[in-house]
Amino acid sequence: MTKIAIYFLILFFIPLMQFNQKASASLVDEIVVTASKEDTQILKVGGNISSINTDEIKFINAINPSEILNRLPAVYISQGSGQEHLTSIRSPVLSGGAGAGSFLYLEDGIPLRSPGFGNVNGLMESIIEIGDRTEVVRGPGSALYGSNAVHGLINVITPTPSEEKKQIIRTQFSDQEFTIDGSYSGPTQKGGVVLNLFWREDNGYSHNESIDQPHYGQQKFLFKWDNSEGINDYIFTLIGTNLNQETKGYVKGYKIYNNKNISKINPDPEAFRDTYSIRSSFKIIKNYLNSKLSITPYIRYNEMDFKMHFLPGKPLETNSHKSIGIQSIYSKKIQNLTWFIGSDIEFTEGKLSEFQDSKDVSFGPRLAYPQGPHYDFSIDSKILSLYFNTEWLLNDRAVFTTGVRAENVEYDYKTNIPSGTKGRIQVSPNRSDDFTDISLKTSFSYMLKENNFLFTNLSIGNRAPQVTDLYRIQSKQVPGGADSEKLESFEIGFRGISIGGLEYEIVGYTMKKEDYFFRDSQGFNVENGVTKHNGIEFNYFKTFGDNFEISGSLSFADHEYDFNHTPNKIVKGNTIDSAPKELANTRFTYLPSMGGKFELEWIRVGDYPINESNAHNYEGHDIFNLRLKRDLMSKTSIGLTVRNLTDERYATRADYAFGSYRYFVGNEREFYFSLEREF
C-alpha cells in the first residue's frame, strides 16, 4: 500500500477521536480574510488555509521569502541565486510560463502583476518581509481570484496602523549581508498611518562588488493611510520595490554541490537581474446594516531587465507592463444566508523583448538560438470578471458555500520585428486572442464537536495562458496555440484541537490538470500536457507547559504525468521532475521565563527526479537552523541566527537539462546577528 493510501486512511480515522471541549485561543480566535474576502474564523473555513503572523515573520528575520513560506504544508519555495526563486504549492517546482502563471501573488487581495504578465520570481516584488501576515490557500482559488490562482495563492496582508505611536528599527547583519528595517505606525484624528522602509545588501562571498560574485541590493517601502468617517472607511496604500542583482548561474556536474570550492564559482558572471515595481490602491468601504460595499481602484507599474543565463545563448530580456483596474464586491446577509457579488476589471499595456548578443548557437548541424533579436512585441490586455458567492448557515454546526466566476481575458499582440522562424525562434505575426473561463467552488464545513471541524472542498480552477506561452513561441508551434489550463480538485480535511491540546489541520487532496503548458528539459514547449496530483498535509502546534512548544508541517505527495510525450521520454505514470515526494518543517521552541525565544528548525526536502524520464535524481537534504532572541530591556532585543547549523552541502534546486546536471548550491553555515529597538 502506498504512503498516500495510508495517510488517506488516517484521515477517515480522525473523526473517531475524542476531542477537547476547550481550545486554545490562538486557533479559536485566528481570523483570516483570503479564503472568503471577508474576516472569517479559520476553524470554520470550508477549505485549507495557512498563515504566518507578524510576530513569527519578525522573529524569523528572513533573508528571502522561502524562509517564511516553507514553514507551511505543501509549500516549497526553491531558492535560486540572491532573490531568485521558483514556487511549488501542491505541485512540482514550476518554471517558465507554468511557474509564472500557476500561482497568484497578492497584496491585500490585489495581484502584484497583471495575470498574463506573471513573474516566475513573483515574491521578490512583494513586501512579505514587512507585511503584517501572509496567508496561503493551497489548490484552486480561481472562483474568488481568477487567473493564476490554480495551484494556489499567496496573499500578503499589509499592517494596520497602531492605536498608539510606535517607531521601530530592526537590523540584521552577517559576514556578507546587512539588512535594516525602519517603521512608524500611529493614530490620526480619524484613523492612522503606517510607514515602513526596508533595505538589504548582500556582497556575496567576495565581500566586494566584484562582478565575478553574486551580490545584490534590494529596497522596499510601504505607506498606508486609514480613515473612517461615519459609515465610510478609506484605505490608501502605496508600495514600491527595487532589486539590483548580479546573478549566479547554475553550477554544472554530478553532485558538484559537494565540492565546497567549485560550488562557489560563478559560471555566469555576466548574468544580472534588475527589477522595479510600484503600485497603489484606494479602497472605499461603505458599511450598511447587514450589508457592505467595497470599491478598490488600483494602478501598478513593473519593469525588469535580466540576462537569461539558463539558455545557451544567454539573451537579454527586457519586459514591462502598466495596469489600471478596479475591484468591487457587495455582500449582504439575510437571516442564515450571506451572499457576495463582485467584479474585477483591468486594462494593461505590456512590452517584451529578447536579444542575443552572442554568436549563433547550434546543436549539431541545426541552428538553435540565432544572434540578434528573438522577440520584440507589445501587448494590450483586458480582463473582465464577474463572480457570485454564497455562504449558507444550515444550522449551528454546518456551513455550505458555493461560488462561480466567469472571466474573459483578451490579448492584442503586435510584433515590432518581422514575423517568421529562425532556428528554434518563431516570431508570430500580429494577432488577437481571447479566453473565457468558468471557475467553480463548493465547500462544506461541519462542527464535529466544539472547535473541531470537518471540511470538504470541490473546486475547478482555470488560468488563461501567459503572454509568453502564446507569443514567445518556437518552431513547429502554432501561434496562439496554448489553451487555458484547467485544474479539478477535491479535498477533505479536519482541523481543531485534539486530546492533549494539539492544534492541527490534516488535509487529503486529489487533483487533475489538463492543457498543461510547459517547457521541457530540451527547451521545447509542450502545449497539451495532463498531470495528476495526490497528497496529504499535516499542520500542527503543541505546547508543553509554559516554556516548550513544537510546531511544524508535513506533506506527502505524488505528482505524475498522465500522458505520453515521445520527444522527451515522458511516460504516463512518471513522477514530474522537480516534485519532492515529502516536505517537512519541524520547529522545537523554548520560551525562557525571563523573556525571549529559542528555536531549532529542521527542514526536510525529499528526493525527486530532475528530468522527465526519471533517469536522473536529486537525493534530497536535511537542513537545521537555530534562532535565538532575548530581551535586553522593555523595548530592546538582540538575536542570533545560525543558518545551516551543520554546514550541510546541498542544492536548493537541481535539474538535468541540455545534457548536464545543474544545481543552485545552498549556502554554507552562516551566523547572523540582529538588534531591534522600539522608540
Predicted confidence (pLDDT) per residue in 144-182, tens digit: 999 999 999 999 999 999 999 999 999 999 988 999 999
- Greatest mean pLDDT range, 59-63, 293-297, 308-312, 564-568: 293-297
Give the separation between CA 49 and CA 213, rounded to whole angstroms.
Answer: 39
Give the separation between CA 336 and CA 394, rounded to whole angstroms.
Answer: 7
Residue 296's CATH number: 2.40.170.20
Domains of the chain: total = 1
Q: How much is the pLDDT for 21? A: 36
Q: How much is the pLDDT for 26? A: 62
Give the separation between CA 223 and CA 193, rounded to whole angstroms.
Answer: 7
Q: How much is the pLDDT for 538? A: 96
Q: How much is the pLDDT for 15? A: 43
Q: How much is the pLDDT for 205? A: 56
Q: How much is the pLDDT for 657? A: 83
In this prediction, residues 591-598 reach a mean pLDDT of 90
Q: How much is the pLDDT for 213? A: 64
Condensed to tens digits (0 to 9), the pLDDT of residues 423-435 reads: 999 999 999 999 9
In this prediction, residues 195-212 reach a mean pLDDT of 72
pLDDT at 522 over 60: yes
pLDDT at 455 over 90: yes
Q: What does pLDDT average to over the chain?
A: 91
Tell me the one-letter amino acid at 163.
E
Q: How much is the pLDDT for 253? A: 92
pLDDT at 211 over 90: no
The candidate with the shortest Cα–Cα distance to 663, out of 248, 251, 82, is 251
- 565: Cα separation from own chain's centroid: 29
Q: pLDDT band at 517, cuts 50/70/90?
A: confident
In this prediction, residues 14-41 reach a mean pLDDT of 65
pLDDT at 369 over 70: yes
Q: pLDDT band at 9, cuts 50/70/90?
A: very low
Dihedral angle of Cα 26, 29, 33, 35, to the nearest 10 degrees:
80
Condensed to tens digits (0 to 9), the pLDDT of residues 374-408 reads: 999 999 999 999 999 999 999 999 999 999 999 99
pTM of the model: 0.93
Is-contact 177 201, C-beta < 8 A? yes
In this prediction, residues 288-317 reach a mean pLDDT of 94
Beta strands in 335-429 (DSSP E): 337-356, 361-363, 366-369, 372-393, 398-415, 420-422, 425-427
Q: How much is the pLDDT for 212? A: 57
How distant, in Å, are the alpha carbons of 369, 392, 445, 489, 495 from that of 399? 56, 6, 5, 20, 15
Dihedral angle of Cα 258, 655, 249, 668, to the nearest 10 degrees:
-30
Q: Which of 211-220, 290-299, 468-477, 504-513 has the lowest mean pLDDT?
A: 211-220
More confident residue, 42 or 323: 323
**Residues contacting 233, CB < 8 A, separation 6+:** 226, 227, 283, 284, 285, 287
Q: Which of 84-98, 133-147, 192-206, 459-473 has the lowest mean pLDDT?
A: 192-206
Residue range(s) defining the domain that contains residue 626: 3-678
Q: How much is the pLDDT for 480? A: 85
Beta strands in 39-132 (DSSP E): 40-41, 50-52, 75-79, 85-89, 103-107, 110-111
Condensed to tens digits (0 to 9), the pLDDT of residues 256-289 reads: 999 888 777 788 888 899 999 999 999 999 999 9
Q: pLDDT band at 27, cuts 50/70/90?
A: low
Q: pLDDT band at 611, cuts 50/70/90?
A: very high
The candidate with the shortest Cα–Cα distance to 464, out of 382, 376, 519, is 382
Give the separation between CA 497 and CA 20, rounded to whole angstroms.
Answer: 6
Q: How much is the pLDDT for 270? A: 86
